[in-house]
Structures are given as structure tokens and as C-alpha cells.
Amino acid sequence: MPLVEVILTYRPESSGATEVRVAATSRRPALLALKGELLEEAREEVTLWSGIDSRVEAMRRADAERLRQVLDTLIPEPCPDPEKAHLRLVQGTEEAEDLDP
């Protein structure tokens, strides 16, 4: 199964300097927090251009939508219905996953 993780790197300002990996996590709360921040930044970029240049605004809006689609695929939101949280897709059919011992 593919791993989605957030990696924090340090990159010195001097050109040619090597970046250093400081930390990494694949914890869901961190991934969801990053997803929210990235989408908010994309929305702010659309808002910034809305009164300046409608063509750039349209491009930024399309970029934001593509970003949302990619992030929704990689980092799906938690299931809002707890009853369906235990369902999984098995060969094209939904099957209840028994999590009780």
C-alpha cells in the first residue's frame, strides 16, 4: 500500500547547500491539517487575484480545484457516518468489516 507522509525539510539560504530532512510523519491528523492549510492558501491566492486579473484568477481557481482533487485522493476526509466507517470495498462489493473481538 502506498505511503502518504509529510516531510519537514530545512534548506539553508545559500545556493548549493544541501537540504536536511528534519522529520516525517504519516499520522492522519498531521496529513489532514496540512491538507487544510494547503487548500486555504490556494483559496487565498484565488481571492488575491479576483480584483486584479480575471484570467490569472481563473487559472488559480483551476489550480486550486486540481489540488483539492489530488489531496482528496491522497488524504480522504474521515467518514462522517460512523455506521459506514467499518465498511470496505472488496472486489466491487461493500462488505462489513468485523472489528469487534
Q: How far apart are CA 97 and CA 82, in angstroms?
A: 13
| Domain-wise residue ranges, the chain | 28-95
Question: Which pLDDT belongs to residue 96?
Answer: 47
Q: Work out the burial of residue 91: count CB atoms within 10 Å of its CB; fewer than 13 is exposed, 13-18 middle, 19 or more buried.
A: exposed
pLDDT digits (tens, 9 = 90+) for 33-60: 999 999 999 999 999 999 899 999 999 9
Q: Which three cell numbers stand for residue 92?
A: 466491487
Whole-prediction pTM:
0.70
